[in-house]
A and B are shown apart, each in its own frame.
Chain A
Amino acid sequence: VSEERLKELLKHCTQCGLCREVCIVERLGAHSITSFLCGEDEYSSWLCSSCWRCQEVCPQGVDIHTIMILKRREQEPPAGHETNLVNIMRLGYALPVDESVNESRGAHGLEPVQLVPHQWLEILLQE
């Protein structure tokens, strides 16, 4: 994470704690990016549910979601996210959507959907 970028994003944060107040993760007793914003060291940015409620309530207009994404780059992703990444590389979808979806649709008299064509996957996977 570029320290400078982070510093800029945090410039207007007053640590009022309103973000943590509305955070579902904090309510459940775990700690996510709102704990980081309140100055805590114990948190995982990967526990954020991306509901954006914190950002909507922030009286200072801090871009919390971008801070969370930056922090994710420094913290090891959980296995579930790794699996999704592998699925995306293989099929173009985070969930395993393959030919079986169309077989299942066909059984209910539904038109097949177009699965992600291979050339799109190549674009998606370009560095």
Chain B
Amino acid sequence: MTKKLPLKVAVTHPCQAFRPHEVTGFDDPLEPQAMRRIVALTGAEVVDYVAEHDCCGSTLYLSDQELGLEAGRRKLASAAGADLLVDACGNCQLLLERFRGLMEDTARQSKTVVLTLPQLLGLAMGMEAADLGISAASARAIAESMA
């Protein structure tokens, strides 16, 4: 890491990395710490939020779109005190980032930028936001939070 990121980061844990624990043998299955530790290495402050350990709801989207979006909306609303909500799974990313526009206003208008873990690490390694696939609007919001 070449750059300290003065940001408040909420993390959403990738359930398939540590559950079922008897198969993965990785991290704590109910209070996972690995991702919090990685994010802390960037100099960011990892913040707690009520829905931290809740499922993102992306697999629910397949069975019931409204239910999946409601899960995502609640997670985004719960993490609203953070500058960033960071995910580490393609499915979480799909729901929390790509489907965010389908959620009702509170989630859409929340200022919290959603990034996926490698993008955050890329920023801490001094890479440009555009090279990391971070939109110009998100990059501006991140820069403002760091200012």
Contacts and interface: CB of A to CB of B under 8 A. Distances in A.
A28 B67 contact: yes
Nearest to A47: B63
Interface string B63-105: 1110100110010000000000000000000000000000000
Contact of A56 (B21, B60, B64, B74): B21
B55 A24 contact: yes
Contact of B67 (A47, A81, A84): A47
B19 A53 contact: yes
Contacts of A49: 55, 57-60, 71
Chain A contact residues: over half helix, strand or loop, or mixed?
A: helix
A55 B54 contact: no
A27 B54 contact: yes
B27 to A, nearest CB: 12
Nearest to A77: B63
Contact of B20 (A27, A28, A30, A55): A55
A56 B67 contact: no
Contacts of A78: 62-64
Contacts of B74: 28
B43 interface: no
Interface in A33-52: 44, 46-47, 49-52
A71 interface: no
Contacts of A70: none
Interface in B22-64: 29-30, 53-55, 57-64
A57 B15 contact: no
A84 B19 CA distance: 23
30 contacts: A24-B55, A24-B57, A24-B60, A24-B71, A25-B67, A28-B57, A28-B60, A28-B67, A28-B71, A30-B67, A46-B63, A47-B64, A49-B57, A49-B58, A51-B19, A52-B20, A53-B15, A53-B19, A53-B53, A55-B19, A55-B20, A56-B20, A56-B21, A56-B29, A56-B30, A65-B20, A78-B62, A81-B62, A81-B63, A84-B62
Interface of B: 15, 19-21, 29-30, 53-55, 57-65, 67, 70-71, 74
Given A25-B67, A84-B62, 18 more contacts: A24-B60, A28-B67, A28-B71, A28-B74, A30-B64, A47-B60, A47-B64, A47-B67, A51-B15, A51-B19, A52-B15, A52-B20, A53-B30, A53-B55, A57-B30, A65-B20, A78-B63, A81-B63
